[in-house]
Amino acid sequence: MSTTSMMSALSTPRHVAAPFSIGSILVDPPVILAPMADVTNGAFRRVCKRIGKPGLIVTEQISTMALHYQSARTWKMFDWTDAERPLSVQLFGADPAVMAEAARIVADRGADIVDINMGCWVPKVCRQGAGAALLKDAETAVRVVDAIVRAVSVPVTVKMRVGWNNDSLTSVPLAIEFEKLGAQAFTLHARTAKQGFEGSADWRWISEIKEAVGVPIIGNGDVRTPEDAARMLRETGCDGVMIGRAAIGNPWILAETAHYLKTGDHLPPPSLAERQEAAMEHLRDLAAHLGEEHAVRHLRGQLPHYVKGVYGASKAREEIVRAVSIAEVERILQGVGQV
Ligand SMILES: Cc1cc2nc3c(=O)[nH]c(=O)nc-3n(C[C@H](O)[C@H](O)[C@H](O)COP(=O)(O)O)c2cc1C
């Protein structure tokens, strides 16, 4: 071990990286892939699982209303496989009965955990009273959690923001109520809904919620490096760390983080060939599910992240925007790194 890594290992007590359980579901390592709409579909989850081996993966949010009305697009989101377990399926909505019905459906289809979205701040979701809007409607939020806990036998968790805005910081009192109703873990993205992605996450709120409830807490917001994850665990006492944006095009961050938390050492970075191969695996898997052209169009913004920082990556990003076939994408990505 190098002097630097020995120092960081010393400042990163190993107990902070212990596996933990959500009900009967073991989360090992305590590194979790965040739900991201239009990103964490089955193809990306499987790439993350193979390469990053997170202790838990959360699906992109599924609209319970759309499920209720049998939307074909929503049924396409039921694309999980056993390879991704343990898998948490995230639901959004505001009608307790419709949410409970959806929870039963996803649990029947094999979800290991049902997660309720109380963090999404986008107007399309909040206008329905769903996502982070539930943080300012305690009565409905309580009814939603109660209905879902009663509907399924798998653990129910809630992903929240700190509150709606600085004048309405409701996550801690709500978590206390949800725990009484049977919620078995909480994820806190330590920003208010009004913040969107502005400013920085205030991890002190993760400590607050951890102190207020007895069930596991997953901390989230601005973890970009393994060192960030170690610092979040150490500073807040949370049980697990959730990583979102930093994993886009970089599923290695999950394994690097788990390794660092356990050993204080860094894994060697992936080679360019591994990065190109992972991008193609991601694309081919999505194409098998959505069709070739649809998958290429969908991933135009995401695939360039796999080769970020490599010579020729910006040119590849510009070219991929016009690609419509797997062969074109492959040719573009293979061109990266060629001087
Ligand atoms: C493209 C994108 C889509 C997201 N979609 C969801 C979602 O469907 N459900 C949810 O709870 N959070 C969603 N989030 C929020 C993330 O789960 C996470 O809380 C946030 O990105 C902060 O974590 P990070 O700093 O590690 O990215 C999304 C974030 C991004 C960037």
Let me know if residue 4 belongs to a domain. Answer: no
Q: Which two structure tokens, joined as six digits, stand for 5?
A: 């890594």
**Is 19 within the bounds of a domain?**
yes
Residues 233 and 212 in one domain: yes
Task: Give the pLDDT of residue 250.
Answer: 98
pLDDT band at 339 (very low <50, low <70, confident <90, very high): confident
Name the residue at shortest CA distance from atom 31 of ligand 1.
245
Check whether the bond before 304 is cis (ω within 30° of 0). Answer: no
**Residues near 140 by Cβ (< 8 Å), separated by ≥ 6?**
94, 96, 129, 134
Look at residues 238, 263, 288 and tell me which one is the last residue of a structural domain. 263
Contact 293, 313 (CB under 8 A): no
Q: What is the CATH number of the domain that holds 278?
A: 1.10.1200
Our answer on whether the CB atom of 241 is closer than 6 Å to any ligand 1 atom is no
| Final residue of a structural domain among 222, 244, 263 | 263
**Is residue 34 a part of any domain in this protein?**
yes
Q: Average pLDDT, stretch 276-283?
A: 98
Indicate whether 339 belongs to any domain.
no
Q: Does residue 112 share a domain with residue 192?
A: yes
Q: Which residue's CA is the closest to the ligand 1 atom numbered 21?
A: 244
Ligand 1 atom nearest the C-alpha of 220 is 23
Q: Ligand 1, closest atom to CA 119?
A: 11
Ligand 1 center–CA 233 separation, angstroms: 19
Residue with tokens 């209905």: 147
Q: Do 175 and 312 have their domain in common?
A: no
Query: For 208-240, what is each residue's pLDDT tens digit?
Result: 999 999 999 999 999 999 999 999 999 999 999
Residue 3 forms part of a structural domain: no
State the distance from the centre of ligand 1 to the C-alpha of 40, rounded, in angstroms. Answer: 10
Q: Write the secondary structure of the chain as one string of H (helix), E (strand) and C (coil).
A: CCHHHHHHHHCCCHHHHCCEEECCEEECCCEEECCCCCCCCHHHHHHHHHHHCCCEEECCCEEHHHHHCCCHHHHCCCCCCHHHCCEEEEEECCCHHHHHHHHHHHHHCCCCEEEEEECCCCHHHHCCCCHHHHHHCHHHHHHHHHHHHHHCCCCEEEEEECCCECCECCHHHHHHHHHHHCCCEEEEECCCCCCCCCCCCCCHHHHHHHHHCCCCEEEECCCCCHHHHHHHHHHHCCCEEEECHHHCCCCHHHHHHHHHHHHCCCCCCCCHHHHHHHHHHHHHHHHHHHCHHHHHHHHCCCHHHHHCCCCCHHHHHHHHCCCCCHHHHHHHHHHCCCC
318 and 284 in one domain? yes
Is residue 338 one of the residues assigned to a domain?
no
> In this predicted model, what pLDDT tens digit does every residue of 26-81 receive, in sequence order?
999 999 999 999 999 999 999 999 999 999 999 999 999 999 999 999 999 999 99
Residue 190 belongs to domain with CATH number: 3.20.20.70
Number of domains in the chain: 2
Q: Could you tell me the residue range of the domain that residue 169 belongs to?
A: 14-263
Work out which ligand 1 atom sits closest to the CA atom of 221.
25
Centre of ligand 1 from the C-alpha of residue 272, in Å: 27
Distance 242 CA to ligand 1 centre (A): 10
User: pLDDT band for position 12 (50/70/90)?
Assistant: very low
Q: Which ligand 1 atom sits closest to the C-alpha of 243? A: 26
Mutate to test the pocket of ligand 1, among 186, 189, 192 (most ligand atoms within 8 A of CB): 189
Residue nearest to atom 3 of ligand 1 (CA): 36
Q: Do 107 and 149 touch, CB atoms closer than 8 A?
A: no
pLDDT in tens, 134-144: 999 999 999 99
Residue 182: pLDDT above 50? Answer: yes
Looking at the fold, whether 153 and 96 belong to one and the same domain comes out as yes
In a domain? residue 164: yes
Q: Indicate if 201 and 249 belong to the same structural domain.
A: yes
- Total number of residues shown for the chain: 339
Output the pLDDT for position 294: 97
Do 284 and 189 fall into the same domain? no
**250 CB less than 6 Å from ligand 1?**
no
Q: Do 245 and 299 have their domain in common?
A: no
- Judge if the beta carbon of residue 189 lies within 6 A of ligand 1: yes
Query: Do 105 and 136 belong together in one domain?
Result: yes
Do 231 and 287 lie in one domain? The reply is: no
Domain for residue 2, yes or no?
Answer: no
Look up residue 289 and give its two tokens.
């599910």
CA of 2 to the centre of ligand 1 (A): 35
Query: Does residue 173 share a domain with residue 293?
Result: no
- Residues with catalytic function: 120
Residues 140 and 181 placed together within one structural domain of the fold: yes
- Which of 213, 245, 263 is the endpoint of a domain? 263
